Amino acid sequence: MFDSNSLQKRLPYYQQILESIKDSIFKGKFKPGDRLYEAQIAKQYGISRSPVRETIKVLINEGLLVSDDKSQISVYKPALEDVMEIYECRIALETAAVALTAERATIEQIKELEKNLEDTAIAVNTENLEMIVACNANFHNLTLQYSGNNRLIKLVESLNSLIYYYRVLNMQGQNRPETVLKGHTEIFQAIKEKNPQKAASLLKVHTLEDLENLIRIIKGSE
């Protein structure tokens, strides 16, 4: 169920368990709807249930775990309503951010975005799915950070766990990695041209394509 290696003492136990469970969810070891048991996790790590309980609360707050009316814990199963709401937020916030980035990005920041595209292309060519997802997340994080708007950044960061989870799921489908890279390349060109309106428009199109694909995935699993 979990990595049986002993916990590293340099980090709080709950933080290590937190990252371990997240990793298991993102990599598909824990499937949507799978039950998790506090006692079993504590036994696996050889620790008390207190840090496990703390971890579960954090993951519930982030949306990756859910607790039913019987206090049974399970992995979040994406629902269409949730997905639509998250993507509506993303489109509103990230288009505003990328427009600001197109206005404000420095030469060094543009080079960093270009490096991300190079890394993504390598990941696509080598079919390294984990790296593709990481590069995808990093591209969007950079376009957000370079906006320089801390309130926008905090609003998007509050959704980060579910956004990342959706990105993992969204790699399913024909030519998805290539589609993601193409979208990012077009957005990057608009940023490089310092064209805020074009950058925002392209990011909206790119995000709506992601949404349409994710809806197909969810409907196909019902």
SS3 48: coil
Q: Around Cβ 122, how many Cβ atoms within 10 Å? A: 13
Mean pLDDT split into 10-residue runs, the chain, 222 residues: 51 81 89 90 84 90 90 91 95 98 98 98 95 96 97 93 92 92 98 98 97 91 66
**Does 118 share its domain with 41?**
no
**Does 71 share its domain with 84?**
no
Q: Residues 187, 202: contact at Cβ < 8 Å?
A: yes
SS3 218: helix
**Does 63 share its domain with 92?**
no
Q: Which of 25, 42, 75 is the last residue of a domain?
A: 75
User: Can you give the pLDDT at residue 45?
Assistant: 78
Evaluate whether residue 31 is within a structural domain: yes
- The torsion angles phi and psi of 67, rounded to 5 degrees, stand at -120, 125
- Torsion over CA of 90, 179, 111 and 151, rounded to 10 degrees? 0
CATH code of the domain containing 65? 1.10.10.10
User: Can you give the pLDDT at residue 222?
Assistant: 61
User: Can you give the pLDDT at residue 6?
Assistant: 47
Q: List the domain range (segments joined by +) for residue 210.
A: 80-221
Evaluate whether residue 212 is within a structural domain: yes
CATH code of the domain containing 152? 1.20.120.530
Evaluate whether residue 3 is within a structural domain: no
**Does 164 share its domain with 137?**
yes
User: Can you give the pLDDT at residue 4?
Assistant: 44
Q: Which of 33, 49, 75 is the last residue of a domain?
A: 75
Counting the structural domains of the chain, the total is 2
Q: Residues 143, 103: contact at Cβ < 8 Å?
A: no
Evaluate whether residue 187 is within a structural domain: yes
